[in-house]
Structure 1
Amino acid sequence: MNCDRKDLLLYAVTDRYWLEEKTLPEVVEDSLKGGATFVQLREKNLGEKEFLEEAKELQKLCRKYRVPFVVNDNISIAKEMGADGVHIGQEDGDPKEVRKILGEEKIIGVSVQTVEQAETAVADGADYLGVGAMFPTGSKEDASEVDFPTLKKICETVSVPVVAIGGITKENVFQLKDTGIAGIAVISAIYGQKNIYNSAKELKAITEELFL
């Protein structure tokens, strides 16, 4: 499964922090109905059995909406349940090794913050890059910010699509216009909102205007 640039337009990263009375599949389906074009399952504190079951449910949903589904960090879960791919950070493994485990057809995304990291990730087989944090974010306490010139330079340097992440909202997303990104990855801008469907729909319209 190739990673098409247009698939990265509105990249939704899950977070169960805001679930309240709903289940994760319910809120993810709301975001897919609203127009999310890519889904990443991000779980930091869930047991392997629950993680696996949840991943299988979300994979089914994403197939229904024909949207790529990747797992954050957990390569063994991604392999076991047949995810479309994984997203890894700088400390989570070598894309070359991940490729050997998952196979040629799977998507591998890599988080980077510098041009050098970007070039290395692509040389090692990354299909797309996540760059950030672009703005202050509460979703990842240790995220350091990347400036706009660096983001633009990364987009100009690499041959794979780039998605911006970190503190992006419908109010500040306009600042990312003309940087060269394929789209935005968001957590709270979709899943932290009262109406997830409407939030995704609004962001989708904005990203289509800015990045297509």
Structure 2
Amino acid sequence: MGSRNCENRRPEDVLREAIAGGITLFQFREKGDCALEGTAKLELGRRLFTICREHGIPFIVNDDVELMLALDADGLHIGQEDGSARAMRNRIGDKILGISAHDLYEARAALADGADYLGVGPMYETQTKPDIREVRGPDVIREIRGAGIACPIVGIGGITHGKAAPVIAAGANGIAVISAISQAIHPKEAAKKLMQEVRSR
């Protein structure tokens, strides 16, 4: 999540509640209309990174390799339109590299370029990212697993309460969500419920 995903709440407070609810990794995604830039973005990233470090939660930066390096964050996540994955791998060294993939071809290419994990989706329709690809649902994860790809896979896109279990059943190791937690009245409880769904499979 980023600042614009938290309605009128402080991102720091939402993150602390999410951690208390059981999240296992955090991705800083400061994008979209009215997103912070420059020093303000760096300062928010630093505050959120400090919270994650205090709780032993890996901190991944979305798309912005310069910010990731400035923070010395744990890793970087990039999409298919965010430049050369191989070049990013060379820049970040042995830090975590996640790459979004929408089909088997992109999954294989991402792994060849050095991805440590795949963010596969979109699983369902989502309002968070208006320029999403075709929604293929959990079947695309099933296809990737069926081809023998064994790396960690995270299901992304439109996952809310009641929709996590099918993603895990298809072969994902975990799920990535934004609004299901950041816009919940009680982020801690929202995270707990999602974790229960994930672990029920």
Q: Which category of TM-score, normalised to the shorter sequence, fits these structures?
A: over 0.9
- 1:94 and 1:159 map into 2 onto residues whose CA distance is 23
Give the equivalent residue in structure 2 for 1:17: 4
Mean Cα displacement is larger for which, 153-162 or 60-69? Answer: 153-162
1:108-144 CA distances to partner (integer Å, 9 max, x unpaired)?
A: 0001101000000001100000011111111011112
Runs of 4+ residues over 3 Å off in structure 1: none
**Aligned runs of 1:1-212 on 2, under 5 Å?**
14-44=1-31, 45-104=35-94, 106-144=95-133, 145-156=135-146, 157-210=148-201
The residue type paired with residue 67 of structure 2 is: I
Higher normalized contact order (CA 8 Å, seq sep 6+, divided by chain length): 1
Maintained 8 Å contact 2:126/2:158 = yes
| Percentage of identical aligned residues | 37
- 2:5 and 2:47 map into 1 onto residues whose CA distance is 19
TM-score, length-normalised on structure 1? Answer: 0.88
Give 1:99 shift: 1.7
- 1:15 and 1:141 map into 2 onto residues whose CA distance is 16
Give 1:19 shift: 2.6
The residue type paired with residue 111 of structure 1 is: S
* CA root-mean-square deviation: 1.4
The residue type paired with residue 40 of structure 1 is: Q
Give 1:177 shift: 4.0
TM-score, length-normalised on structure 2? Answer: 0.92
Task: Return closer, same or farther for 1:85/1:195 CA change in 2, 3 Å cut-off.
Answer: same
- 1:168 and 1:129 map into 2 onto residues whose CA distance is 16
Q: Which runs of 5+ in 1 are unaligned?
A: 1-13
Give 1:184 shift: 0.5
